[in-house]
Homo-oligomer: A and B are copies of this chain.
């Protein structure tokens, strides 16, 4: 029986999703929880890796089990063994051809900024501080240029090992509030650090340190160097994965 999980985590204290020799990971904690519940050693496959320090509201994963625990109650059993900063919010039985990674059609990531000239302890965990307000209209114009099917070579860090750097972005929503900005990026898949570089580049445009033609140039030339910084992991969360 194949079980699909919806997983939420505070990534602060983890070395990302994927099991690795050094550092504790989300995947490892989930596999330990499945083992504690079922006695089985399984691979829990995620929709994709999230990097060290990145959070998730609705990461999706799957695993196979012979356990007799009812699928829709599996999340409760797993949560008994999971730490406070990782919880399964839903579990369900799916067909054997469902694959959390391969079947994923759309992913939405969110990035959060807050305005302050001092680090705020009640904000710092899940958002990144900026000390002046960027021009949101400029950011929206730059974001428009990124929507669509493009070669995002200029928007990834080296070491991703992806076969192609072509991806499709369906939408980028920029939502300002009184005390910050939320940026929501929806696409068919993302390269290594892609969202953090996109948001860093939008911020650079919003600060008037780069014009919109620079974004076009990045798409055409693949030149990472002219883009914005790769922003910190803590401001990023995987909102949802659609199938």
Contact = CB atoms under 8 A, between A and B. Distances in A.
Query: Residue among A55, A79, A119 with the most chain B CB within 10 A?
Result: A119
A122 interface: yes
Contacts of A184: none
Contacts of A88: 118
A92 to B, nearest CB: 14
Contacts of A125: 10, 125
- The bracket for how many chain A residues form the interface is 20 to 34
A54 to B, nearest CB: 12
A79 B79 CA distance: 37
A84 to B, nearest CB: 7
A87 B237 contact: no
Interface string A1-33: 000000011100000000000000000000000
A124 interface: yes
Given A10-B122, A86-B121, 19 more contacts: A8-B120, A8-B122, A10-B125, A55-B121, A55-B122, A75-B118, A79-B118, A79-B119, A84-B119, A84-B121, A84-B124, A85-B121, A87-B118, A87-B120, A87-B121, A88-B118, A89-B116, A89-B120, A122-B126
